[in-house]
């Protein structure tokens, strides 16, 4: 009996350690009859310390049960389901944009460090290189500038993509990168393919020889260090390249400041320190010098729906990256689009959408807003309100008269009030 208890205790200990390791490494078990842990996408379990509201799943209108619902209730449920799908798309690109703000410059102790970012309700996106920046952000930009989410990234009936705009109103495309002749040290070269990002630190260190008399002059530093670093620059290709170029002077300043402190701690001669400070300590990481108007300032999301709901929704949201290594500051999100809802019994309902998201949580994810669906052909209008606690209300109008209301509680419980009786 004691041996059995020991075996059981050992087994439970292994399970606990395995689960803890999965949480730390952000690993998820395969889909199965078991619930997904809270750090996995599409998990129904929330962290006890998370304040982010979770939208409960709302049963969509099913062809087999549509005859048991009124036409107005079916349309309201369809609208609620579409907005929920759109919210998962918004969350994916919101988190992806946030990952850009997590790039930090630090020497010694890591060169460029890339922190992890949450993937929200969408499935964990395809990653490339260190950290948690989506592969689409590190891959060469498509000609349109719209970066697609990886296949299956958002388990909804939409194929989403996003483009990014500058403060000057330009869309970031390969054409813009070529026009500005942007050169930047490649991210892989910068980090060496590890999260610690020691490649840049080791490269700089290898160029500095203790006791080298050439480093006693500013020209010596320029020739032996900074010009060597500039030679590693390559033409920018990706959104990450572009973002790093826009903050390149901040990256250079942070690294130079850390290097100066390091040399002072080593007790180098004042002549060497003065030569270092007088040397060309900017422009070695990226060129030409960026301007404030070049910084990223907004993103546009395009969600193409297919299936029973077919059409395209466009959204735009402004944001700013105030300081290197800080989370973006997001603003409201607005949008519009056109969708056709195909129903085997009711026929086609062509809706025009107007979207206005007005509140968001501490992570920038939209939590409250108003969405209006208008179908002039059938005289139908659905006015929906989404609230911070995850509840929703959809008012259905026919020819200007409210005929029904669907209410969704934070728990996901749905009720319909028929106002025609």
Of 56 and 271, more confident: 271
pLDDT > 80? residue 243: yes
* pLDDT tens by residue, 371-397: 999 999 999 999 999 998 989 999 999
CB 39 within 8 A of CB 23: yes
Sequence-ordered list of residues with C-beta below 8 angstroms from that of 297, at least 6 positions apart, any chain: 165, 166, 167, 318, 319, 320
| pLDDT on residue 194 | 45
DSSP string for residues in 159-180: EEEEEEEETTS-B--HHHHHHT
* Domain boundary assignment for the chain: 72-99+298-418, 100-142+167-293
Mean pLDDT of all residues belonging to the chain = 76
- pLDDT classification of 255: cutoffs 50, 70, 90: confident
Q: How confident is the model at residue 254 (pLDDT cuts 50, 70, 90)?
A: confident
Instruction: Give the mean pLDDT of 19-48.
Output: 50
| Per-residue confidence band for 127, with pLDDT thresholds at 50, 70 and 90 | very low
Q: Which of 21-35, 104-118, 150-164 has the highest mean pLDDT?
A: 150-164
Mean pLDDT of the region 5-32: 49
Tally of CB atoms within 10 A around 170: 17
138-153 residues labelled b (16+ CB within 10 A) or e (exposed) = beebeeebbbebbeeb
Among 146-160, 170-184, 354-368, the range with the most confident prediction by mean pLDDT is: 170-184
Lowest mean pLDDT across 85-94, 224-233, 274-283: 85-94
pLDDT in tens, 304-315: 888 788 899 999
In this prediction, residue 150 carries a pLDDT of 72
Calculate ∠ Cα 390-407-38, nearest 5°.
30
Share of the chain above pLDDT 70, in %: 70
- Calculate mean pLDDT across residues 88-95: 80
pLDDT for 102 equals 63
- DSSP-based three-state secondary structure for 114: strand
- Mean pLDDT in residue range 38-62: 45
Paired residues of 106 in beta bridges: 111
| pTM of the entire predicted model | 0.73
Q: What is the dihedral of CA 150, 44, 31, 94, to 10 degrees?
A: 10
* Higher pLDDT pick, 114 / 340: 340
| Lowest mean pLDDT across 128-142, 180-194, 208-222, 269-283 | 128-142
How would residue 131 be classed by pLDDT, with cut points 50, 70 and 90? very low
Q: What is the mean pLDDT of residues 102-123?
A: 42
CA distances from 157 to 78, 93, 300 (A): 12, 16, 19
């Amino acid at each position: 009996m004691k041996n059995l208890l020991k075996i059981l205790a050992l087994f439970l200990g292994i399970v606990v350690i395995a689960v803890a390791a999965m949480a730390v490494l952000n690993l998820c078990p395969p889909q199965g009859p078991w619930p997904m842990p809270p750090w996995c996408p599409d998990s129904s379990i929330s962290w006890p310390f998370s304040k982010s509201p979770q939208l409960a799943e709302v049963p969509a209108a099913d062809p087999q049960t549509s005859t048991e619902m009124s036409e107005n209730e079916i349309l309201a449920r369809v609208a609620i389901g579409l907005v929920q799908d759109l919210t998962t798309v918004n969350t994916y690109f919101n988190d992806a944009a946030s990952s850009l703000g997590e790039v930090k410059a630090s020497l010694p102790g890591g060169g460029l460090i890339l922190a992890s970012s949450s993937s929200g309700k969408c499935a964990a996106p395809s990653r490339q290189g260190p950290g948690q920046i989506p592969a689409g952000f590190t891959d060469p930009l498509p000609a349109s500038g719209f970066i697609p989410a990886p296949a299956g990234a958002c388990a909804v009936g939409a194929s989403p993509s996003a483009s990014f705009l500058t403060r000057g109103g330009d869309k970031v495309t390969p054409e813009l990168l070529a026009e500005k002749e942007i050169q930047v040290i490649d991210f892989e070269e910068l980090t060496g393919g590890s999260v610690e990002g020691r490649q840049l630190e080791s490269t700089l260190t290898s160029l500095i020889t203790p006791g080298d008399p050439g480093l006693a002059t500013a020209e010596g530093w320029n020739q032996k260090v900074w010009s060597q670093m500039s030679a590693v620059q390559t033409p920018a290709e990706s959104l990450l390249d572009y973002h790093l170029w826009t903050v390149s002077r901040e990256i250079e300043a942070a690294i130079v400041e850390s290097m100066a402190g390091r040399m002072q701690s080593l007790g180098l001669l004042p002549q060497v320190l003065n030569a270092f400070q007088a040397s060309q300590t900017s422009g070695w990481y990226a060129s030409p010098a960026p301007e404030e108007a070049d910084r990223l300032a907004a993103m546009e999301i395009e969600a193409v729906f297919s299936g029973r709901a077919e059409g395209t929704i466009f959204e735009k949201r402004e944001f700013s990256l105030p300081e290197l290594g800080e989370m973006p500051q997001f603003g409201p999100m607005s949008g519009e689009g056109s969708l056709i809802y195909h129903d085997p019994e009711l026929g086609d309902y062509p809706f025009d959408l107007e979207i206005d998201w007005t509140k968001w949580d501490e992570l920038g994810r939209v939590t409250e807003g108003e969405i209006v669906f208008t179908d002039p052909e059938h005289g139908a209008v659905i006015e929906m309100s989404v609230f911070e606690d995850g509840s929703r209300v959809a008012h259905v109008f026919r020819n200007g008269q409210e005929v029904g209301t669907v209410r969704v509680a934070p728990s996901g419980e749905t009720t319909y009030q028929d106002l025609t009786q």
